[in-house]
Structures are given as structure tokens and as C-alpha cells.
Amino acid sequence: MTPAERAATVAIWTVTAAVVLVLLAPLVVTVAVSFSASPVFNLPPPEWSLRWYQRTARLRELWPSVRLSVEIALLSTGISLVLGTLCAMAVARGDFPGKTAVATFMVSPLMMPGLVVGVAILQALREAGLRDAWLGLLIGHVVITLPYVTRTVLASLSLFDFTLIEAARTLGCSYPRSLLTVMVPVLAPAFLTSGLFAFLASMDNYPISIFLIDARNKTLPILMLQYLEENPDPTIAAISAGLILLTIVVLLVADRLVGLRRLAEF
Amino acid sequence: MSPTGRETALAGELALGRRRGRLRERVEPISLLALPGTLYLSVAFGVPLLLLLVRSVYGDGGLSVASYVRFFEDPFSWAVIWNTLKAALLTTLICLLAGYPAAFALARASGALQALLLTALILPLSVGVVVKAFAWTILLRSDGIVNRLLLLTGLTEAPVRLIFTQPGLILGAVNVFLPFMVLPIFAVVKLIDRSLLDAAATLGASPVHRFLHVTLPLTMPGVIAGVAFVFSMSVSMYVIPTLLMGDRFKTLSILIARSFLFMRDRAAGSTLAVVLLLIAVAVVVASAMLSRRHQHAR
Amino acid sequence: MMLGGTEGGPRERPAPPASRDATAYLEVTGVEKQFRDTPVIQGLDLQVRAGEFVCLLGPSGCGKTTLLRIIAGLLPADRGRILLEGADLTRVPAHKRNVGVVFQSYALFPHLTVAENVAFGLKARGLPAAEIRETVARALALVRLDESADRSIFVLSGGQQQRIAVARALAVKPKLLLLDEPLSALDRKLRETMRMELRYLLRDLAITAIFVTHDQDEALVMSDRIAVMNAGRIEQFDVPAAIYTRPATPFVLDFVGMSTRLAGTVAGGNGGQVEVETALGRLRAHGRLPAGTRVLVAVRPEDLRLGPPHGHAENAVTLRVRDPVFLGSKLILHFHAPEGDRVVAELPPAAGHGLVPGDGVTVSWDVAATLVYPTP
């Protein structure tokens, strides 16, 4: 290695180390604070305690909110997986005018300001006479999750060898059946990755949800921000620590199934 | 014609063709699979945005851009736009400078090290922006870790006020958006053919020349994607500035939220919303054009 | 084995370079390389003369590509030295060696046009734009692709891409050109055309070249000398004729061309000859080996003829025909042989006229053409 290459390597790894620290620091802090006995955010905590976790269990509004967020996230991810995959297939295999426009359009909600989309959907729903918050949330969340699925599945499809389908058909499978038996397993990692990202995006979404909720239906991020503004105490840290733990479990499972490397293909 | 308009027209032609007993060659059945998704998005996303746009130019007495004129005449508006753009530009720039090398490190690492890096990138994504912003409020306090580090390394002599300041905001934003810069670049770096770099070396290119003329051009698609994501996300961010700067830093998103949620001023809110929307659309269009220029068939 | 048969005529090979300095142009000494405790190259020496075209011939995994990469500077050797025109290149990074490489995959830059690809090395050296333009034009004319200068590399055919890769490597006037199986991706007809084109081009430019291949025909047709490699070592380094008629080891014997193989034990010998006892009888060959040595007796198919031996100067065996294979200009006869042995003869079609499987014949050949190798 030339001295230039050596210097570059050192620089790269230093920056990367800083990146890792910056990325993980908030998580570490949150977990640490959640075990603090003091209601003020002091680090290191003067005493350790589980009181905030106990409070979490007793929070009345928390569990319905968690349930709502998970429901909406699961449903919207599921719907998006279907709609997005169909669309990705059409773009990958079909040849119709406006193909690239369709692909760009399907991915665009990712890059649009959430607040704007939220307020637009709210007004449109009001106009259409739809006042049910749950339905409104679902409609909005499908919009957010669709791009994740379309993007990832499309990328995976563009690498897929379609002669495998032809091979299956010459062996006696009908077109739909060969799609199911040949393509779906190969796309499984893409489904998993995009499903995971879509689910997380939905669980985490604030800007669209804030407009579509009502007093009785509050998603988790909204509840948490509200709580933060009203009673800033480490209960919020305890909830967050719970979420972190849950995600670690999900990531471990996903790693077993497809490997972490595949997850990086968002 | 909008994409769905075309789709509907094509579907109509298809039906017509069938009735005549002929199938038009151009429209394959598989293209119709795009219909449900595109239709849904058009109705649930496209139409509401269009409505928002249309409403914002319809005043009490018909077509009117009065609200826009008022908005752009107000110097305060320009300050807000500048704040928004500045925050987004700084965030994107720092994410790019830090994320580009990190993407290479990720591609070169293997085994446990790569797993650690990937976890560091994906785990925070899962935790939610509220949590992260909240954690940064803790980190940025006068007695928080960041200040302690600064004092330790001698970069400052007294604790610096970071909470409710712009540097603190940028730091928090970079933290949230970094994965969206690193992952697209990583996806492209992974695909670079090593033999291209070998070939460049045997042709006499020094490591610097190889980087500038082979690696950099080949990673451009990933860089464009990453920059587009991070810029558009940071231009629209709401939770992070709210928690880390409160009312002190007025961005378009914060004002939009205020107008609709607290002040019930729909007209002003709509104008702001459309301005922000147009900025985001400009980013999408620019990145699509740029990536077309840098598209290399594989 | 088709020696010259593929071209269907006497073998056309450009004459070896006229003024050949006996001192080595490229000297590889004592090179060793291990990958994760597996030795890939073991104590290898090689000397190539100026203007020579040398082939590294061997099966996959024999280390030929690794050796090439070490010479190019893309891989450091664990031990050994590389000297080019007397200068020690061992520690010199690849981009300073002026050793050109044509890769198996061509490694053309996808983001550059054809002309920009060819200009890459010249640009890297900071040459003035006018000179670059001129050199690129000449290089493209040399490979007859001047029309494609501004096209994307993806619209080119495989053969055209290969020529661009060569033009690009030659544009910077390298001191040595290394080619890593550059023709393997081409279809057969194109391969045969490109072989000679490449050979003539390099000879006209007086470029010293090392060519890696696993195709023995290619090696025999193109090279001034062939280095047959096996398991990280060079088993024989010689001109094609010697490699074929006097293979130094059983490996070279088997890798290049077909042969009859008979296992046997040395029964005795006198003067310059040994007598070997095989399952098909007693055979004689030139050589000196102690009695009791286990050996392999071999002979090339075209050296066999049907009929009784002409006296003492010939060996003979009697066998039954197994498969006559008619190849147009010749007849290949496979015979029933004892377990592990093989007898195969190449004859003009007329000689085997009327032979059917099962027929018993006597096959004779010159004692002088008999090869014998001690086997462990």
C-alpha cells in the first residue's frame, strides 16, 4: 500500500468509527436513562431503578396506542407488499409507455414532505366525507409504505433471471404457479427487507399521522411526543428501551432468515 | 397525461381490441399489474396533493395567487425558506462527507465487523425519530456527553450551549438521516468490479487518480440517491427541529404544523405547504435527471 | 490432438524475434505465494527474452493467473523477486511498473466511451490532449475499431470489446504485456481468428508478452515458448515442438495432446536403452533406469502404425480394436487395453480401412519415439 492509500484507510476507519458512535450514542443514552432512579435526565444516573418501567405498565393510554400503531403498521405493510409487488412486476417485465414515470411516481411519497401529504390527505378525506380516523390512518400509512416495497422489490426483480420462470413452465407449471413457486422464494429477502423497513416507517411516522388521528386514536409516536411535552420524565426512555429491545429481537430473527447484509439493500 | 390517465386509456384500448378479436401487441397483460398500485396512489396521494395545490390558488373570488404574492413579499418568508434550506443543505453535506467513507468501510468489512456496522445503521432506524430526538436532548445538555467530550479533547474551554442551537439541530438531524445516505452508496460500492481498479492501476493510474476517475464516477448513482433522500427528508423534518430547537428556529415544516394544528389558519398553511411541496418536487426531478445522466448499464 | 490441424495446413507461426539477447528481459526468481496456508505458487523461476511470446499453460488452479497478477504488481509475492530489464520491480506498486494487462473479463470502464477507455492510461500519465488524441486514434486503427471511437462499450460485440482492451493496454506502450485468458469468452471461430491477429499485432510492435491459457491448441499455435504449470510449479518450459514430442513429465504428456499410456516395471537394460515389462509385453525405450523401477511408458498417437515391427528398432503390441473414430483427415483408433492403460493411434483414414471393433491388429512404433517416466 502506498502512503496515500494508508492515509486514506486510516481516515475512512476514523470517520466510520465516529459514525458508529454517533448512531449508537442516542440508543445507549436512552437505555441508560431508563434505568435511572432520578426523574431528571442525569447521566450517569445517581441510582438505578426500574420505576419508569413500572410506570410504563401502568400508563393507561400507552397500550391501546401501541396496539393501534402495530395494527396500522401490519395492515399497511401487508397491503403495500401486495400492491407494490404487482407494480414492481409490471415495471420490471412489462413494456408500456410511461413505465419510468410510473416507477418514479410509486417511489415519490418517500421524498415528499410528510406534513404536506398529511394535511392534503386529511382535507381530501374530509371532502369525501370520510371521518373515521382508523381508516384515514390506514389510507395514509399505505401511502407511506408503498414506496419502500416498490423500490426494494423492483431492485430485486431487475436482478432476477426470468428464464427460470420459462424453465418452470416447460416443466409443466402454469404461469401463475411458476411465479409462485419460482419467483416468490427468490424475492423473499426483498419482501422481508422492504416489509421490515415499511413496518418501521409506519410505526415511526409522525407528520402524516398527526393530521389523521383523533382524540381516541393516537399512534405511538404522537403519544410519546405529547408525553414528552407534558411530563418529561424517563418513562419515555423506558418505552423507547422497550422498542429498542423489540427491534434487536426482530433484527436477530431477520438475520437468521436472510442475513443482515440483505437488509442493507433498502 | 398523468400516468393513471394513460393506464386507463390503455386498458380501454385493450378491451376494445379484445372485442374485435385482436390483441394489440404493445399492451401486455403483465403491464396491467401496475394498475392497482398506481390507481391507489393516484387517488390517495396524487389527488389530495393536486387538491391542495388547486385550493391554494383559489381565493374567495376565484383564481388568485394573492396568498403567494403576500408570502413572497414578506421578508420573514424568505428567512424561513433560507432556514429550511440551510438546515437541509448542512445536514446533507455532513451526511455525505461522513457517509461516503462509511459506505466504503462497510463494503470492505467482513464478518463480525460488518455485522456491527450494519446493526449500527439499521437499529437506529427502527427506534423512531421521537426517541432519537429525545436522546439527543439528553446528549446535548451542558453536562451531557458531547460537552464532556469537547472539554476532554480541549476543543472548548467551557461547556458549549448545544441544546436549542443550530449545531445541535444539525447533529441530531445527521444522526437520524445518516443511514439513508450510507445504505444507497453502500449498495453501489458493493457492485464495483474490482478488476476495473486493477485495470486502472496497470494502466498507470495512481491511487488518487483511480479514485477520482474510476471509483467516484461509478458511485455517482448511489451518491445521487443518497443526497436526494437525505435532502428531501431533512427539508421536511418536523420532529427533530421541534424537540431540539423548539420555536426558535422557524422552518417551513414548523410553520405549516403551527398553521394547521395550532392556529387553524388553513390559507396560510396551504401556501406554505405548496411551497415546501414544490421544493421537494424540484429535488425529485433534479435527482431523476441527474441519475439518468449517470446511469451505466451493467 | 490436432497439431496445426485447426488451421488446416502447415502451422503458420511468426518467426521468433531476430535479435535476441540471451539475457533475460523478464526474470522471475524464487516466487512463492500462499493463500490461507495453501501454497499456490511454490519456488517458481521464469526467464522471458525480449520480444518473446510466452504462454503459461495449465489447468484451473495451477497458479498461472496468480503468477500473472504477481508480475503485474496486483498481488505481492510472499517470497522472490521480479526483475524487468534489470530493474527490481518486486516492491514497486502496480501503477509504476509499466506492465500492461488484458483481463479475462476485459475490465472496460463502463462509464467511459471506447476512445476514453483507450485514453485512460495516457490521461493518467498527464500527457497533453493533442498527443492523447493522436495516440488513441492510432491504437484504434491498429485494432481496426477507429469507427467506434465515441460509442459506449456496451454496443460492442465480445470480439470488439476484446480488441479495445488490447488497444487500451498497448496505448501506453508497456514494457511487458500480460494477457489473462483474453480469448476464452469468444466463440470458436472468432477465437481462432483473434489468435493470429493478436500474435501478429504483438510481433509487429515487438512487444514482449506472457499469455495465460488452459487451451493447449492456443498455446501451441501462438507461443515462442510454453511454460506448462501444475500445482504452482513450472513442469516444463520449452518451445512447442519440444513440449509436444519430448514432454518432461507425465503431467505435461497428458495435458498437451493425447498419448498411449502403459504402466510397467523396468526389467533390465543395456547401453542407452531400458527394457520395460508391461501387461502388453516387453517394450524398449531410450533411457537409463535401475531395474525394478515402476514406470509409465508412453507414445504419441501419430507415431503408431499398423503392422509388424521393422526389426529391433521398433516396439510392437497386439491388441483388439475398440473404437475407430473417423475425423475426416484422419482416423483415431482406440484399442482395448489392460486396466488403467490406454492405447490410441492416429492414422490416415486409408490405413484403417475395413477395421471394425473387435479386430485384432499389431501396432508398432519407433523405440526412439517411446517416452518413459518413473512413477512414484
C95/B196 touch (CB, cutoff 8 Å), yes or no: no
Predicted local distance difference test score (pLDDT) of residue B14:
52
Answer yes or no: is A118 within a domain.
yes
% of residues, chain B, pLDDT over 90: 34
Which residue range forms the structural domain that includes residue C308?
Answer: 258-374
Quote the CA–CA distance of B243 and A229 in Å, as a whole number: 9
Please say which residue of C202, C230, C254 terminates a domain.
C254
| Structure letter (DSSP) for residue C19 | S
Chains that touch A (3 or more CB pairs under 8 A): B
Strand partners, C252: none
Q: Which of C203, C236, C254 represents a domain boundary (last residue)? A: C254
From the list B34, B45, B127, the residue facing A143 with the nearest CB is B45
Using the Cβ of B216 and the Cβ atoms of chain C, whether some distance falls under 8 Å is answered with no
pLDDT for the residue C371: 92
C20, pLDDT greater than 60: no
Residues C298 and C229 both lie in one domain: no
Does the structure show a pLDDT above 70 at A242?
yes
Q: Residue A192 is part of which domain span?
A: 62-217
CA atoms within 13 A on the CB side of B171: 23
Quick check: C297 and C325 in contact, CB under 8 A?
no
A225 in any annotated domain: no
- Same domain for C150 and C247? yes
Report the range out of B1-5, B126-130, C292-296 with the highest average pLDDT: C292-296
* C243 occurs within a structural domain: yes
Asked if residue C273 and residue C200 are part of one domain, the reply reads no
CB under 8 Å to C295, separation ≥6 — which residues?
C263, C264, C265, C266, C274, C276, C289, C372, C373, C374, C375
Short-list C28, A112, A96, CA closest to B46: A112
Mutation site, C109, C136, C180, interface B, largest B CB count within 10 A: C109
Residue C68's closest chain B neighbor by CA? B202
Asked, for residue C68, whether it belongs to a domain, the answer is yes
Write the ipTM.
0.85
- Considering the domain architecture, whether residues C224 and C146 belong to the same structural domain is answered as yes
**Dihedral sign of CA atoms C154, C157, C161, C163 in order:** negative
> Do B200 and C124 make contact, defined as CB atoms within 8 angstroms?
yes
Minimal CA separation from B3 to chain A, in Å: 6
B145 and A247 within 8 Å at the Cβ level: the answer is no
pLDDT at B61 over 70: no
For residue C9, being part of any structural domain is answered with no
Across the interface, which of A89, A108, A247 has its CB nearest the CB of B33? Answer: A89
Contacting residues of B for A244, CB less than 8 Å apart: 123, 126-127, 131
Contact of B201 with chain C, judged by CB distance below 8 Å, is answered with yes
**Per-residue model confidence as pLDDT tens digits over A123-163:** 999 988 888 899 999 999 999 999 999 988 988 888 888 88
Task: State yes or no: pLDDT of B7 exceeds 60.
Answer: no
Q: Does C213 map to a domain?
A: yes
Q: Is residue C214 part of a domain?
A: yes
Residues in chain C within 8 Å Cβ distance of B205: 95, 120-121, 124
Q: Does B217 touch chain C (CB under 8 A)?
A: yes
Strand partners, C23: none
Does residue B26 carry a pLDDT above 90? no
Do the domain assignments include residue A34? no
With CA atoms as reference, the chain B residue closest to C168 would be B203
Of A94, A111, A142, the CB nearest to B228: A111
Of B30, B118, B135, which has the smallest distance from its Cβ to A264's Cβ? B118
Q: In chain C, which residues have their Cβ closer than 8 Å to the Cβ of B296?
A: 110-111
Q: Does residue C277 sit in the same domain as residue C344?
A: yes
Question: pLDDT grade, residue A41 (50/70/90)?
Answer: low
pLDDT at C7 over 70: no
Q: How many domains would you assign to chain A? A: 1
Q: Are residues C54 and C198 in the same domain?
A: yes
Cβ of B131 within 8 Å of Cβ of A243? The answer is: yes
- Dihedral sign for Cα C134, C135, C138, C144, please: negative
Between CA C256 and CA C211 the distance in angstroms is 16
Identify which of B101, B115, B174 has the shortest CB distance to residue A16: B101
Put simply, the answer to whether B198 touches C107 (Cβ < 8 Å) is yes
- Considering the domain architecture, whether residues C235 and C267 belong to the same structural domain is answered as no
Q: Contact B193/C105, CB-based, under 8 Å?
A: yes
pLDDT at A258 over 50: yes
- The reply to whether A124 falls in a domain is yes
Q: Is B204 on the interface with C (CB under 8 A)?
A: yes
pLDDT of residue B85: 93
What DSSP character marks residue B42? I
DSSP type of residue C15: P
Do C221 and C262 belong to one domain? no
pLDDT at C250 over 60: yes
From chain B residues 71-90, the ones with a CB under 8 A of any chain A CB are none
Nearest to C111 among B198, B204, B217 (CB): B217
User: Mean pLDDT in chain A?
Assistant: 85
B261:A111 CB<8 A: no
Q: Mark yes or no for CB contact C99/B198 under 8 Å.
A: no
User: Is pLDDT above 90 for B15?
Assistant: no
pLDDT at B189 over 80: yes
Work out the angle between the directed axes of helices A184-204 and A220-230 (0-180°, nearest 10): 30
At C367 the three-state DSSP class reads: helix
| A41-45, C71-75, C234-238: least confidently modelled range | A41-45
Query: DSSP secondary-structure letter at C317?
Result: E
CB B83, CB B250: distance < 8 Å: yes
Chain C, nearest residue to B205 by Cα: C124
Higher-pLDDT residue of B59, A156: A156
- Is C14 a member of any domain? no
Is B282 touching A (CB cutoff 8 A)? Answer: no
Number of domains observed in the structure of chain C: 2
The answer to whether residue B17 neighbours chain A at the CB level (below 8 Å) is no
* B residues 239-298 lying closer than 8 A (beta carbon) to C: 294, 296-298
Please check whether residue C33 lies inside any domain of the structure. yes
Query: B196 and chain C: CB distance < 8 Å anywhere?
Result: yes
Same-domain pairing of C297 and C353: yes
Show which of C254, C284, C303 is a domain's final residue.
C254
**Closest Cα in chain C, distance from residue B295 (Å):** 8
Same domain as C276, residue C143: no
Range of weakest confidence among A41-55, A227-241, B240-254, C287-301: A41-55
- B124/A124 CB distance under 8 A: no
B129·A206 Cβ contact <8 A: yes
**pLDDT tens-digit profile of C114-154?**
999 999 999 999 999 999 999 999 999 989 898 888 999 98
On average, the pLDDT of chain C sits at: 88
State whether C250 and C268 are in the same domain.
no
Query: Which chain B residues touch C105 with a CB distance below 8 Å?
Result: 193, 195
CATH number for C351: 2.40.50.140
CB contact under 8 A, C73 and B218: no
CATH classification at residue A134: 1.10.3720.10
Residue C9 has pLDDT above 70, yes or no: no
Helix or strand or coil: residue C325? strand
pLDDT at A207 over 60: yes
Neighbours of chain B (3+ CB pairs under 8 A): A, C
Nearest residue in B to C71, CA atom: B202
Q: Mean pLDDT lowest for which of B45-49, B154-158, C31-35, C294-298?
A: B154-158
Q: Which of A35, A36, A96 to mutate: most B Cβ within 10 Å?
A: A96
Residue to mutate among B193, B203, B210, with most C CBs inside 10 A, is B203
Q: Tell me the CA distances in angstroms from A259 to A253, B115, B138, B215, one per residue in order.
A: 9, 9, 33, 27
Within this chain, do residues C223 and C268 fall inside the same structural domain, yes or no?
A: no
Instruction: List pLDDT tens digits, range B83-124.
Output: 999 999 999 999 999 999 999 999 988 888 888 898 898 888
Pick the CATH number of B70-293 from 1.10.645.10, 1.25.40.20, 1.10.3210.10, 1.10.3720.10: 1.10.3720.10
Q: Mean per-residue pLDDT for C256-271?
A: 89
Quickly state the pLDDT bin for A231 (edges 50, 70, 90).
Answer: confident
CATH number (domain holding residue C90): 3.40.50.300
Give residue limits of the domains in chain B. 3-56, 70-293
Region B269-298: what's the mean pLDDT? 83
Reported confidence tier of residue A251, pLDDT bands at 50, 70, 90: confident
How does residue B204 score in pLDDT terms, banded at 50, 70 and 90? very high
Measured CA to CA, the distance from residue A73 to residue A81 in angstroms comes to 12
* C contact chains, 3+ CB pairs < 8 A: B
The closest CB to that of C121, out of B193, B203, B297, belongs to B203
Contact B202 C111 (CB under 8 A): no
Phi, psi (rounded to 5 degrees) for C100? -85, 150
Look at residue B226 in the predicted model and tell me its pLDDT. 93
Give CA separation, A100 vs A104, A179, B3, in Å. 6, 23, 10
Query: Between chains, do C120 and B195 touch, taking CB under 8 Å as contact?
Result: no
Per-chain mean pLDDT for chain B:
83
Q: What is the DSSP letter of A213?
A: -
Which residue does chain B place closest to A116, by CA atoms?
B273
On the question of pLDDT at C191 being above 70, the answer is: yes
For residues B292 and A209, which has the higher predicted lDDT (pLDDT)?
Answer: A209
Whether A258 maps to a domain, the answer reads no
Question: Counting one residue from A and one from B, how many pairs have CB atoms under 8 Å apart?
Answer: 301
